[in-house]
Structure 1
């Protein structure tokens, strides 16, 4: 079953094209990794999917429904799509538990006891149940990012978007976040992740899409894209990554 269908999406900023006709289908339980240099359009594509940016042309369908239709309610769409950014975006004045339960209580009108129980179960799963009463500034970067992922998961999203979620972390903290994403894949969570972690993309993704200049230049299974890329631009990008010791 196709969860997400992106068709011919264009996005301009100040007249400059950032996405130039991107098309991509994502099936249920599939993990799709977006790779490419900074400025290639990865983050903008995720923001368009979550309706944080309005597309200038093209359509995006979620479970067959056109969410780019002007009549679509962005808030309703975002209830079904979780997104996690490289900045943790936790509310500093709220405890971990209050950060996680905020949307279930205020947006989904979930009973407080149910929201707390669900949040605590997820925090337990990621090894942070003992931090439920702590405030974000008392957590490491890796712990804060895991809380941000739990906050997205607590709403049972149909699709989870991860935008460079390890970029703001010290190298020693990256592993704990990647381990969580690997676990989510094992649970069958449908995900699109924009990442600079090439080795991780190779291990966890079902499909890799290489973006360049606002286009998907090449896509395929990780072993094909990383091991035998067909397009010269893909080969050039991966060679630079290899020379930098990141693949």
Structure 2
């Protein structure tokens, strides 16, 4: 079953084409990794899916329903999507528990008791026991990013979008956040993520998509993309990544 389908997606800013006719399909329980150089359009693509950016042309479908239709209720769509950015975006004046339960209580109308029970279960599942009453500035960067993932999961999203969630972390903190993503994959969570962690991408992805200058140049299984890419631009990109020691 197709959870997400993107057809001919185009987006420009001030006359500069950022996305040039993207076609992509994500099936239930699939993990799709978007790779490419900075400025290739990866983050803009995720922002379009979450309707944070208005598309110029093309269509996006979530479980068969076009969400780019102007008549669609944007808030209703976002209830079914979870998104985590590289900046944690936690509310600094709220405890971890309040950060996690805010959307379930205010948007999904879950009772405080039920929301808090679910939040504590998720915190325990991702190694954050005892942090419910802490404030964000009392946590490490890795812990804050894990809380951000837990907050996204607390709304039980149909699709989880992850935008370079390890890029702002020190190397030793990256490992703990990537462990959370492995756990989510094991549970069958459908995810689309942008990442510069090529080894992790090769391990976790079902499908890898290489974007370059707003074009989806190549997509396929990770083993093929990383060992025998068909397109010269893909080979060039991966060679530069290898030479830089980021693989």
Q: Which portions of structure 1, spanning 4 or more consecutive aligned residues, are displaced by more than 3 angstroms? A: none
Structure 1 match to 2:111: 111
Output one character per residue of 1:16-42: Cα deviation in whole Å (capped at 9) or x when no partner: 100000000000000000000000000
Please list every run of 5 or more consecutive structure 2 residues that lacks an aligned counterpart in the other structure. Answer: none
Q: In 2, distance between residues paired with 1:15 and 1:61?
A: 26
Structure 2 match to 1:168: 168
Q: In 1, distance between residues paired with 2:179 and 2:104?
A: 25
1:96 CA drift (Å): 0.2
Could you say what secondary structure the match of 2:130 adopts?
helix
Q: In 2, distance between residues paired with 1:38 and 1:245?
A: 17
Structure 2 match to 1:43: 43
Q: In 2, distance between residues paired with 1:189 and 1:209?
A: 18
TM-score of the aligned structures, taking structure 1 as reference length: 1.00
Corresponding pairs, count: 247
1:129 CA drift (Å): 2.2
TM-score of the aligned structures, taking structure 2 as reference length: 1.00
Q: In 2, distance between residues paired with 1:90 and 1:14?
A: 31
Could you say what secondary structure the match of 1:29 adopts?
coil
Where does 1:5-16 land on structure 2 (aligned, <5 Å)? 5-16=5-16
Please list every run of 5 or more consecutive structure 1 residues that lacks an aligned counterpart in the other structure. Answer: none
RMSD after superposition: 0.4
Structure 1 match to 2:4: 4
Q: In 2, distance between residues paired with 1:24 and 1:36?
A: 16
User: Is residue 28 from structure 1 mapped to residue 28 from structure 2 by the alignment?
Assistant: yes
Q: In 1, distance between residues paired with 2:63 and 2:132?
A: 34
Q: In 2, distance between residues paired with 1:200 and 1:143?
A: 19
Structure 2 match to 1:92: 92
Q: In 2, distance between residues paired with 1:111 and 1:207?
A: 38
Could you say what secondary structure the match of 1:130 adopts?
coil
Q: In 2, distance between residues paired with 1:177 and 1:241?
A: 22
